[in-house]
Structure 1
C-alpha cells in the first residue's frame, strides 16, 4: 500500500486535482456536555476561520439511519499541513473547553463537481 505522499504525487501525475483538505469528525464529550452553552463561541470561531479562508465546510452529520441527529459534526479545513489543521481544531471553543472531542484525517479530492449560481440583482447565491 503506498504512503499518502506517494499516492498524492501519483494522483497529480495522472492529472487528478489532488487537493488536500482535512476532515474533522467532532462528537460531544458525553451526555452532560454543554454543547449549547459553547455554541455562540464555536460559531464565532467558525465565522472567523471562514473569513480567513481556512474553513471550507462545516455542519452536523445525521445518524446512520439518516433520520436523526446524534450530535456529531464534520468540519473541513484548508491548511498547509495536518499539524496546522489539528491546531485549528484544537482552538475551536468546543474542543478547547472539552465539550467535544475530535478525530482528524487528510482528504484528497480528486474528482467531483459542484454548481455555483449567483443572481446579482436578487443578491442570491446557491451552491448545489
Structure 2
C-alpha cells in the first residue's frame, strides 16, 4: 500500500475524517497587466468548477507578514486523484495564459469544525 494511502487508513481508523482534497497555491508569473487581463475568465472558470462540485474554496492570500495582498491565491479542489486535480488547475485561464503558475499538494482534512447558518426567511447564509 502506498505511504499516502496507508496514512489515510490510519487516520480513518482513529476516527478522523480523512477527506482528501487538493490545494493549489497560485502566484503571479507574467507582467503586471497579465493577471487583471485574465480575471474575468478565471472567475468564470472558478464558478464553473463550483457548479460541478469540484471547487471547494478559493480566494486571495496575504504575504507571510499578513499585511499585504500580493496576488497569491489558494484554491482547494475536490478530485479523484492528484492527476485529475492537476488537469483542473492546468485548465484555469490564469494558468493557461501564463499569468500565474501554481504548486499543487494533496491535503488530508482530518480535524476542525465549520459552522454554516442558513436563514430561511431572510435567504441569508453565513459561514463561521
TM-score by length of 1: 0.95
**Alpha-carbon displacement from aligned partner over 1:5-58 (angstroms, at most 9, x marks no partner):** 111111111111000000000000144351001000000000000000000000
Count, aligned residues? 127
Are the aligned partners of 1:33 and 1:100 in contact in 2 as well (CA < 8 Å)?
no
* Distance in 1 between residues matched to 2:14 and 2:115, nearest whole Å: 24
TM-score by length of 2: 0.95
Residue in 2 aligned with 1:63?
Answer: 63
| Structure 2 spans left out of the alignment, 5+ residues | none
List structure 1 runs of 4+ shifted beyond 3 angstroms: 30-33
SS of the aligned residue for 1:80 comes to coil
| Structure 1 spans left out of the alignment, 5+ residues | none
Residue in 2 aligned with 1:123?
Answer: 123
1:114 and 2:110 equivalent? Answer: no
SS of the aligned residue for 2:50 comes to helix
* Distance in 2 between residues matched to 1:15 and 1:32, nearest whole Å: 47
The 1:116–1:36 alpha-carbon spacing in structure 2 relative to 1, beyond 3 Å, is: same
* Distance in 1 between residues matched to 2:81 and 2:4, nearest whole Å: 13
